Amino acid sequence: MTGTIEIRAPYLMFLGDVHDQLAAKTATGVVHWRRDDCIGQVRFADCKADLGLSDMTIAEGRAAGAATLVIGAVNPGGVLPDHWVSAIVEALESGMDVASGLHMRLTTQPAVAAAAARTGRSLFDVRHAPAGTLPTGKGTRRPGKRLLTVGTDCSVGKMYTSLAIAAEMKARGWKADFRATGQTGIFIAGSGISVDAVVADFISGASELLGPANDPDHWDVMEGQGSLFHPSFAGVTMGLIHGSQPDALVLCHEPTRRKMRNVEHPIPPIDACIRWHVEAATLTNPDARCIGIAVNTSALSEAAAADCLKQLSDQHGLPAVDPVRTGVAALVDALA
């Protein structure tokens, strides 16, 4: 797909010297979903995270077949520490590409940029959309089917739900692809566009590129971003809704929250969330419908989670699942 980032596998995961496991959350997600494509991990002596992979040097990773060094760590400000640079340069000189989920662009670090130019290797700053390559959205109906995950708030499990749905579809022999719209999803899929870094006028166009015309029975499972109800991030959600042109929506929810993350706005009622998402989607697909609710019940006991799912299903007449605890088969059943 023109305009998307395309990252070569297998991966050598770089953790540097992150101070805890949470700081390796991007790498953890990649390993969870693409374990067979993760050859090993590079950790400095005082690294406090572990992905459960073999520890390797850059040279050992390259010898084992790694095509891309993935910087799977996060830190305050998303900067590239100076003492990581020599390892990144070594990876480029060994013949690997380098992909980063940091806010700081690899291309702005002089030694890294010079090494990439010298070796002809590629640098991927996955938080940043490719410059000058994205069209505006057109809203023209196109063949193929698309499912978009949306949320009552940010960080409620849209990526995990999307990946689980795509995996369930493929397990049933369906034609299906996960379409990544954020940095961790791009590492997992190997391609995509980080839509929260796209200039607003081009978000719907980027979404159309991610879910292009396809076979009538093919499903693109579009990873959602932000929330239509979040005052900070509603814009990216609306662009995804219009560009994805979804046939099906899955509403993702965290039942213990009362306010949206980092703001004072309350979580709207579930029925309002469903109604407003469907109404927004009908601009580019009059047949759009919500087919289920995906609930992150990790803060609840097993019994409380089961009660929560049953209550939501009964109240809204839709399957309600926890993708981790129950799986997503009931959601895919709703599409059959």
pLDDT tier at 22, thresholds 50, 70, 90: confident
Residues β-bridged to residue 52: none
For residue 116, pLDDT over 60 is answered with yes
For residue 1, pLDDT over 60 is answered with no
For residue 2, pLDDT over 60 is answered with no
Longest dimension (CA), the chain: 61
Dist. CA 184–CA 29, nearest whole Å: 7
Within 10 angstroms of residue 233's Cβ, the number of other Cβ atoms is 20
Average pLDDT estimate for 66-81: 89
Dist. CA 127–CA 188, nearest whole Å: 14
Dist. CA 244–CA 221, nearest whole Å: 9
- How high is the pLDDT of residue 76? 72
pLDDT tier at 131, thresholds 50, 70, 90: low
User: What is the model's pTM?
Assistant: 0.90
Residues in the chain: 336
Average pLDDT estimate for 59-73: 97
- How high is the pLDDT of residue 142? 96
Average pLDDT estimate for 117-144: 90
Contacts of 318 (CB under 8 A, 6+ apart): 290, 291, 292, 293, 312, 334
Tell me the domains of the chain and their CATH numbers. Answer: 5-125 (3.40.50.720), 145-333 (3.40.50.300)
| Tokens representing residue 293 in the block | 């609710």
What is the Cα gyration radius of the chain?
Answer: 20
Higher per-residue pLDDT: 151 or 75: 151
Q: Is 191 helix (H, G, I), strand (E, B) or coil?
A: strand
pLDDT tier at 36, thresholds 50, 70, 90: very high
Higher per-residue pLDDT: 130 or 134: 134
Interval 277-330: pLDDT, tens: 999 999 999 999 999 999 999 999 999 999 999 999 999 999 999 999 999 999
Sign (positive or negative) of CA dihedral 154, 333, 212, 192:
positive
Q: What is the residue-wise DSSP string for 141-168?
A: --SSEEEEEEESSSSSSHHHHHHHHHHH
